[in-house]
Amino acid sequence: MTLVVRGIRGAITVEQNDAASIHQATRELLLAMVEENQLTTPLIASCFITMTPDLDAAFPAQAIRELDGWELIPLMGALEVQVPGGLPMCIRLLLHVNTAKTQEEIQHIYLRDAVKLRPDLQQKG
Protein backbone atom coordinates (compact mmCIF):
# COMPACT_ATOMS: atom_id res chain seq x y z
CA MET A 1 0.00 0.00 0.00
CA THR A 2 1.40 3.37 -1.04
CA LEU A 3 0.83 6.30 1.27
CA VAL A 4 0.66 9.89 0.07
CA VAL A 5 0.31 13.13 2.03
CA ARG A 6 -3.18 14.62 1.77
CA GLY A 7 -4.80 17.62 3.42
CA ILE A 8 -8.02 17.33 5.38
CA ARG A 9 -9.85 20.60 6.03
CA GLY A 10 -12.20 21.40 8.85
CA ALA A 11 -13.85 24.42 10.44
CA ILE A 12 -16.10 25.14 13.38
CA THR A 13 -17.60 28.25 14.91
CA VAL A 14 -17.30 29.07 18.60
CA GLU A 15 -20.13 30.29 20.84
CA GLN A 16 -18.05 32.60 23.05
CA ASN A 17 -14.57 34.06 23.14
CA ASP A 18 -13.35 32.23 26.23
CA ALA A 19 -10.77 29.51 26.74
CA ALA A 20 -13.29 26.77 27.57
CA SER A 21 -15.36 27.43 24.42
CA ILE A 22 -12.31 27.64 22.15
CA HIS A 23 -10.80 24.44 23.54
CA GLN A 24 -14.09 22.53 23.44
CA ALA A 25 -14.79 23.52 19.82
CA THR A 26 -11.22 22.69 18.75
CA ARG A 27 -11.42 19.22 20.27
CA GLU A 28 -14.90 18.63 18.81
CA LEU A 29 -13.69 19.50 15.32
CA LEU A 30 -10.42 17.59 15.52
CA LEU A 31 -12.06 14.44 16.90
CA ALA A 32 -14.75 14.57 14.18
CA MET A 33 -12.05 14.87 11.51
CA VAL A 34 -10.11 11.94 12.97
CA GLU A 35 -13.21 9.74 13.36
CA GLU A 36 -14.73 10.47 9.93
CA ASN A 37 -11.41 9.77 8.21
CA GLN A 38 -10.49 6.78 10.42
CA LEU A 39 -7.13 8.28 11.36
CA THR A 40 -4.63 7.28 13.98
CA THR A 41 -2.05 9.75 15.23
CA PRO A 42 0.93 7.95 13.62
CA LEU A 43 -0.60 8.85 10.23
CA ILE A 44 -0.79 12.57 11.02
CA ALA A 45 2.20 14.56 9.81
CA SER A 46 1.12 17.97 11.12
CA CYS A 47 -1.80 20.27 11.88
CA PHE A 48 -2.17 23.89 10.80
CA ILE A 49 -4.62 25.90 12.91
CA THR A 50 -6.12 29.30 12.19
CA MET A 51 -8.69 31.38 14.00
CA THR A 52 -10.47 34.62 13.30
CA PRO A 53 -9.21 37.78 15.07
CA ASP A 54 -12.28 37.89 17.34
CA LEU A 55 -11.05 34.74 19.12
CA ASP A 56 -8.19 35.83 21.35
CA ALA A 57 -8.91 34.20 24.71
CA ALA A 58 -6.91 30.99 24.14
CA PHE A 59 -4.70 29.06 21.75
CA PRO A 60 -6.57 26.19 20.02
CA ALA A 61 -3.27 24.29 19.88
CA GLN A 62 -3.32 23.97 23.66
CA ALA A 63 -6.52 21.91 23.45
CA ILE A 64 -4.91 19.63 20.87
CA ARG A 65 -1.71 19.19 22.92
CA GLU A 66 -3.80 17.91 25.84
CA LEU A 67 -5.17 14.97 23.78
CA ASP A 68 -3.46 11.60 24.18
CA GLY A 69 -1.07 10.88 21.32
CA TRP A 70 -0.88 14.46 20.03
CA GLU A 71 2.09 15.60 22.14
CA LEU A 72 4.68 15.15 19.37
CA ILE A 73 2.62 16.13 16.31
CA PRO A 74 3.82 19.44 14.87
CA LEU A 75 1.22 22.19 15.30
CA MET A 76 1.29 25.65 13.73
CA GLY A 77 -1.16 28.38 14.58
CA ALA A 78 -2.02 31.62 12.80
CA LEU A 79 -4.44 34.48 13.04
CA GLU A 80 -6.62 35.00 9.98
CA VAL A 81 -7.01 38.33 8.23
CA GLN A 82 -10.27 40.05 9.05
CA VAL A 83 -12.19 40.60 5.83
CA PRO A 84 -15.61 42.16 5.25
CA GLY A 85 -18.29 39.46 5.25
CA GLY A 86 -15.99 36.84 6.77
CA LEU A 87 -17.40 34.22 9.11
CA PRO A 88 -16.83 35.40 12.71
CA MET A 89 -15.62 33.32 15.65
CA CYS A 90 -14.26 30.51 13.49
CA ILE A 91 -11.46 27.99 13.98
CA ARG A 92 -10.06 26.14 10.98
CA LEU A 93 -7.83 23.06 10.96
CA LEU A 94 -5.78 21.61 8.14
CA LEU A 95 -4.46 18.14 8.91
CA HIS A 96 -1.63 16.79 6.78
CA VAL A 97 -1.99 13.01 6.82
CA ASN A 98 -0.22 10.03 5.32
CA THR A 99 -2.95 7.98 3.69
CA ALA A 100 -3.78 5.53 0.92
CA LYS A 101 -7.14 7.27 0.41
CA THR A 102 -7.83 9.19 -2.77
CA GLN A 103 -8.72 12.87 -2.64
CA GLU A 104 -12.35 11.89 -3.28
CA GLU A 105 -12.38 9.58 -0.24
CA ILE A 106 -11.22 12.29 2.17
CA GLN A 107 -13.97 13.66 4.43
CA HIS A 108 -13.64 17.38 5.10
CA ILE A 109 -15.59 18.47 8.20
CA TYR A 110 -17.51 21.70 8.66
CA LEU A 111 -19.51 22.07 11.87
CA ARG A 112 -21.99 24.58 13.30
CA ASP A 113 -22.15 27.83 11.29
CA ALA A 114 -18.93 26.87 9.47
CA VAL A 115 -21.04 24.75 7.08
CA LYS A 116 -21.68 28.10 5.34
CA LEU A 117 -18.03 28.11 4.22
CA ARG A 118 -18.40 24.97 2.11
CA PRO A 119 -22.04 24.00 1.61
CA ASP A 120 -20.86 21.65 -1.14
CA LEU A 121 -19.12 19.56 1.56
CA GLN A 122 -22.07 19.23 3.95
CA GLN A 123 -21.39 16.64 6.65
CA LYS A 124 -23.54 14.44 8.76
CA GLY A 125 -23.65 15.87 12.26
Tally of structural domains, the chain: 1
Q: Between the CA atoms of 56, 25, 87 and 123, what dihedral angle is there, to the nearest 10 degrees?
A: 160
Give the pLDDT confidence score for residue 125 in this predicted structure.
41
6 is in an annotated binding site: no
110 is in an annotated binding site: yes
9 is in an annotated binding site: yes
Give the pLDDT confidence score for residue 124 in this predicted structure.
45
Range of the domain at 85: 4-121
Q: Rounded distance, CA 62 to CA 87, Å?
A: 23
Q: What is the CATH number of the domain that holds 80?
A: 3.30.1330.40
Q: Rounded distance, CA 3 to CA 107, Å?
A: 17
pLDDT block averages, 10 residues each, the chain of length 125: 94 98 98 96 97 96 95 95 93 97 95 91 55
Does this model's pTM top 0.75? My answer is yes
Helix, coil or strand: residue 113: helix
